[in-house]
Amino acid sequence: MRTRFDEQLSLLNRDMIELGSDCEQAIQTVSKAMRDRDTVLAATVPALNEEISHAGREIEALCLRLLLQQQPVARDLRQISAALKMIYDLQRIGELASDMSDLIVYLKTCTASQLKQIDKMADEATSMVTYSIDAFVKKDEEQAKAVIRQDDTVDAMFVKTKNGLTKMIAEDPDHSEYALDLLMMAKYFEKIGDHAVNIAEWVVFSLTGVHRGETEL
């Protein structure tokens, strides 16, 4: 019985890796579409979001089978519970990438220099998602905590971007419309970073039984 359960836990890990990889692909695709102002590429992102949503539902079903058909011990229970929570954040990342793809059409007049800082935010946010899922699979508490700390970098980049765009609008109001679109893109990447932090916090919970200062489970 335990051998079968361990096999299903391994399957859960593999599925979470694939879901995380799908999210990375969605972020990287919308980032490249933004960088190249490629509306054709941007149009492929909603389909990636659908794949993420479907995969998330499949993993939820697996988690529920593990909970209902097996009798997981405390640590296993935390791992499964954490995965269920993480799925929500990964699905939200897919939805954010899809929403961002709708903005690409409005960025055609932007210059490469105006997109440079936001592109850096995209790289940081992508790495946060990658490392948070990797921490879950490897059961690496320190790596999860490093992801949480990395959010400060993304937040600082967002503030820098916001200040730069605000200055742009003040100096040339004719650019205000697409400056606001750029600000929206930056905000989406900041939100993706926030979701990666949520994932990392659930990784810590799966290993310690403590989430955000709550008592141990």
Q: Is CATH 1.20.58.220 correct for 2-208?
A: yes
Residue 213's pLDDT is what? 53
For residue 1, is pLDDT > 60? no
**pLDDT averaged over the chain?**
90
C-alpha to C-alpha distance for 152 and 145, rounded to whole angstroms: 12
Domain locations in the chain as residue ranges:
2-208
Q: Which is nearest to 17 in space by CA: 63, 59, 49, 67?
A: 59
Q: Which residues contact 129 (CB under 8 A, 6 or more apart)?
A: 20, 23, 24, 27, 90, 93, 192, 195, 196, 199
Residue 214's pLDDT is what? 58
Q: Which is nearest to 148 in space by CA: 192, 214, 202, 196?
A: 196
Residue 2's pLDDT is what? 67
